Each structure stands twice: as C-alpha cells, then as structure tokens.
Structure 1
Amino acid sequence: MKTAVTLCRVPESAAGPFVFHDPLPEGFAKAAGHGFDAVELFLEGPDAVPADEIHALQQQHGLAIAAVGTGAGMVKHGLSLTDASPEKRKAALDFLLRMIGFGGRLGAPAILGSMQGKWSADVPREKALDLLAGSLRIAGEAAAACGVPFIYEPLNRYETNLFNHLAAAAEFLDRREVANVVLLADLFHMSIEERDIAEALREAAPRLGHVHWADSNRQAMGFGHTDPVPIMAALREISYSGYISAEIFPLPDADTAASQTLESMIALRS
C-alpha cells in the first residue's frame, strides 16, 4: 500500500476536507517533507495548471500523483451527471472526460464523487441510474485509453441517494458490465453507512481501487472513534496494493493532521 495526501487548489473548497491548500510548490514540498509517496490533486479544472508544471514538481520532490479529483465540476460549476437538464449533463460529462485526460497525462486516475449527483422527482431513480451507468461506461473507456482506471466513490446518504454502500456499487458496476471502473472506499462515508467497514472492503475487493483514510469525524485517523486495526487487516487480507490517501480536515492544523495520518498508516500497514 502506498500513502498519499490531498492538495486542494479550489477556492470554493477552502473549508473542505483537504490537508493542504497551499500553492502547488509549497504543497508538494510539504507532502514530501512529511514522507508521503504521492499527492492527490483537487484543481479547478483540467486547464488550471499545465501538466508539465506538475511533472516538474513531481521530479523535484519525488512524488507520484495518486489521483485527480473532479469535485470542482460540482462545487465551482454546479455540474452533475444526473442533472435534469440535458445541457448540464453534457457539460458535466465533458468536464469529466477532460479531467480524465488531464489525469492520464500525469499517469493518474480521476475520481467521480460529488458530480455523480442524485435522483429526484425530475430525474427518477431508474433514470438516474441509467445516466450514471452510461457516464461511467464512457469514463471507463476514456480512462482505459489513457492507461489508467476510473474511480467511482459511493458517498454517504447526506451527499447522494445513488449509492451509499460499497457492495451495492460493486454489484451495480458488475450487473451493468462497466469496465475499467474501480471503487473508492472512503472510510468517513463508510463510518456512516456500513455495518462493518472491514467486511465491506472484503466484499468489494475485486472492485476496490482507492482508499480515503479518514476517521469517523473526517479528521486524521486516531482523532475520532474508528478502529483502524481491522480495516488495515482487511486491506492486507485482500492484498490491496493501491493508495491510502488522507482526505481529511486540516485539524488542528495541516501539519499535525498530515503527521498523525502518516503515523497511523505506517504503524498499521506492515
């Protein structure tokens, strides 16, 4: 398992659960200084920062790019793949595909979280699921062309009513025959929704591709009441070899959150 830390440069997400909000040179330097293997990037869009600039920072600090988030499509542009408006759905898919291409140039997968949207009176559940499946199928194919997977994240019930559990999302992807799409297991969302986080990881093992390492209060592991021991044991049991990434609030400050996170990861992963 490889370690990563989040670096956000989206002003609308300044209060969001990301460890570092610094300009990229400072953020990369801090991530490397703490000893992480990679950074997970949340940028305003696919044209926000030239890929060459990020490559240079990677080489300077010896860091990989674990993934690129697409949440700016929602928080900055109000885009959703299940919007009632066909025009907005088209704009959402275009944004997503461009982020996949941007991530591909960095050798990194893109993540679909908040942009998945939700079903509503205007977009009934079955239609929303059809829209989601179609978009995920297209995203998986686009990511495959870039040589990376695409990452889909089930969220908690307060953020989406599409999929809140890993097993249900995995079954959906299998039943709809969606290729090259893996699941993100966010431990914060799972602490709200899953009966047993470790067992949920085992059940979804064939589709598991990314982990957000967060405690029950969305702070660094060890600052809430989640027991990480059985969770890490389950990840070892299923031979998970992807990233465990800190998508957490920078509390009590970013450096303390980063240090506490890395300490908890390293102490348990071996």
Structure 2
Amino acid sequence: MTINPLGIHALVFAGGTTDQEIDRSVAEAKAAGYDILELSLHDTDNLDVARTRKAFEDAGLDLVGSRGLAFDADISSEDPAVVARGEKLLQDSVEIVHGLGGKLLTGALYSAFGNFGHSLSAKGRANVVSVLSNLAVEAASKDVTLGLEVCNRYETNVVNTAEQALALADDIGQDNVVIHLDSYHMNIEEDDFVRPFQLVGDRLGYIHIGENHRGYLGSGHIDFAAFFHAMSDIGYTGGITFESFSSAVVSPTLSNDLSIWRNLWNDGPALARHAHSFISNAIAANSDER
C-alpha cells in the first residue's frame, strides 16, 4: 500500500476520448491498480462529459485533466486575438474538468505546445500572468486547482525549470496554482533531481514520472533513486502519474506534438502493470516503514 495516489495517462491505453476509448482506459487503469486516470483535453469534441464522469465514479478513479495550447490559441502571444482564443480554450477546459468531477487541470497551460522560434517577450509573459490570474479565480469558484507543468525547451519557451514555474506562480498570485514536476522534462532542463524538489517544497501539487525516452521505467538512464529520495525528503504525498508514449497508440492530435515516432512498447496494459509496481516499490523503499 502506497502513501501517494498513483495515476496513469490515458494515452497508454487509447488515443482519444470516444466512449469506447474511455471505457477501455478506465477498465485498464483500474485493473492495473491505479487511483488516478489523466485525460488530455485535446479530443473534447468526442468526449461525453456526463458519461465519462459516471465511468470514473463507477470505477472509483479520480480524474486529472491536462492540456497545452495551440499556436493559434497561445496566451503567451502578443496578438490579442490569439491570446483570446487561448483564454477561451482554458476556460472551457476548467468547465470540462469541473463537469467530469475532477479537481486538477494541469499541463503547459501557459503557452502553445511546440518548438518556438523565438524567446518569450515581456508582453507575452504579461499576457500569461493576466490570463492565468483570471483563470485561477474562475477555477477556484469550481474547486479546481491549476498546475503549471515544467516542460522542456523544445515544447515551450515560458517555463523550463522549477524556478521559472515558481516565479510565474508568484506573479499569478492565487492559492490554487501549484507546481507540476515531470522527471522526463527535469532530465533535460534541471541541474539534478534534488534541488527542484527542495526549491518547490510544499508548493508541489502533482508529479509526472517517465523515462528519458518515455518508455518502460528503469529501461533508460534516469536516476530514479535520487528522484524518489528527493520527493520523500520534502514529504510529498500527492499524486504521481506515469506518463509514457509509443507509436503503438496514436492520438490524432497529440502524437505529432509529442514527437512520438517509434514503438517503445506494444502492450499498454503490461506497461501499466510494470509501472505501478516500479513506482510502488520505489515509494516503499523510501518510506519510514522500511
């Protein structure tokens, strides 16, 4: 039995959010022993919110919603029309998470998701702060928390380190904004796996765990011993969600954005069971009861 609720990204099982795909993802996540199923909100045209909420409730799974933005709906843009489209997407996302019974909307909420050809401007950052400050107030009225996921330089030019995420959260200035660390991105951008945890401390609200190549945990070079030691040292008891992608499961909207060009695995359910065991054992090894 673990201290932290464990989650898994639905893209391990299905590429979208049709009724059939939701049923498959919920059933497989539950069968593998997870407490949380994370849904990307990039396929909401096919998402039946009421039906999906019931499927989660019947399975006893908590829901986390995640998303990034598109370049034509980027709140870090200097173009007011582009910013307005991004703000509307975020507002709709908060409403969907609330409708699904979720309590957390996380991801690259602050910018388009992709490789930028320029650095962030002061005006663009000011737009991010303005939009997310208002969004956080709206989210709080629905009991939804916003997570700022720290992503790598190839996917955003706004937040690449824990230090930058904290600075942005400070400027947003709302209590329902938390930091979201991800071992895959940390491996690219941070000096090590220890200092980000120490820096974020009790403002850490969510974790993604993934290998350097996004495949099987333990099959790459990430120092998970240091990662879990650091997590344990700050007393983190929140959700830890396994995130892995392979061309075996293709999302019509996300696979290209995430640069999923090869098969790192073919059997999602087997991968899910392995990850649950890996994370559970790592937590147990660092618990006070060992």
The correspondence of residues 1-270 of structure 1 with structure 2, limited to 5 A, is: 1-7=4-10, 18-21=11-14, 23-44=21-42, 48-65=46-63, 67-71=64-68, 73-74=69-70, 78-105=72-99, 106-113=101-108, 116-117=111-112, 125-250=121-246, 251-253=264-266, 254-270=268-284
Distance 1:269 1:215, change over 3 A: same
Distance 1:156 1:44, change over 3 A: closer
* TM-score, normalising length: structure 1: 0.86
Identical counterparts, % of pairs: 23
Mapped partners of 2:53, 2:78: distance in 1: 38
The amino acid of 2:276's aligned partner reads L
Mapped partners of 1:136, 1:116: distance in 2: 11
User: What is the deviation of 1:43?
Assistant: 3.2
The number of aligned residues is 255
The amino acid of 2:73's aligned partner reads L
Aligned-partner SS, 2:205:
strand
* Contact 2:202 2:236 survives alignment (8 Å): no
Mapped partners of 1:177, 1:119: distance in 2: 27
Mapped partners of 2:175, 2:57: distance in 1: 32
* TM-score, normalising length: structure 2: 0.80
The amino acid of 2:7's aligned partner reads A
Distance 1:109 1:46, change over 3 A: farther
Aligned-partner SS, 2:134:
helix
Mapped partners of 2:50, 2:109: distance in 1: 27
Alignment gaps of 5+ in structure 2: 16-20, 247-263, 285-290
Aligned-partner SS, 1:111:
strand
User: What is the deviation of 1:155?
Assistant: 1.1
Mapped partners of 2:120, 2:185: distance in 1: 24
The amino acid of 2:280's aligned partner reads I
RMSD: 2.2
The amino acid of 1:257's aligned partner reads L
User: What is the deviation of 1:46?
Assistant: 5.0
Mapped partners of 2:157, 2:82: distance in 1: 19
The amino acid of 1:3's aligned partner reads L
Mapped partners of 1:205, 1:104: distance in 2: 27
User: What is the deviation of 1:234?
Assistant: 1.8
